[in-house]
Homo-oligomer: A and B are copies of this chain.
Amino acid sequence: MKGVRVRSKIWLEVDGKPLLGSGRERLLRAIDTEGSLNAAAAELGISYRKAWAQLQHMEKHAPFPLVERSKGGKGGGSTHLTRETRELLARYARLKTGLNELIDEKFAQEDES
């Protein structure tokens, strides 16, 4: 089928509400490397407001605390991932790469038709 591409997406939900998809994965990883939500938002080129809202939604449905935040102090504050969040990210990454491999293997040639 000329010009038609197969795309896919995998994500985690908790009682029907989105918990972690690839966009939010990017945000969490940026928080991890930057050490603050503010810097993470800048890194991703999105507004702090938006990044904050995304994190809020995630935490609202997460079965455990995703981050530890601090306000004020030297450097103004910080946001760090919890250990459980790092594990969740690792699990999600495995899931995603696994899915992509499967799709490549199984459907790539079928897609040439």
Interface positions of A (Cβ within 8 A of B): 1-15, 19, 63, 88, 91, 94-95, 98-99, 102-103, 106-107, 110, 113
Contact = CB atoms under 8 A, between A and B. Distances in A.
Given A98-B107, A99-B103, A7 B13 contact: yes
Number of identical monomers bound together in the oligomeric complex = 2
A94 B4 CA distance: 15
Contact of A4 (B7, B13, B113): B13
7 closest cross-chain pairs (CB), A and B: A8-B10, A5-B13, A102-B102, A3-B14, A9-B9, A4-B12, A7-B13
A8 B63 contact: no
B98 A1 contact: no
Contacts of A19: 4
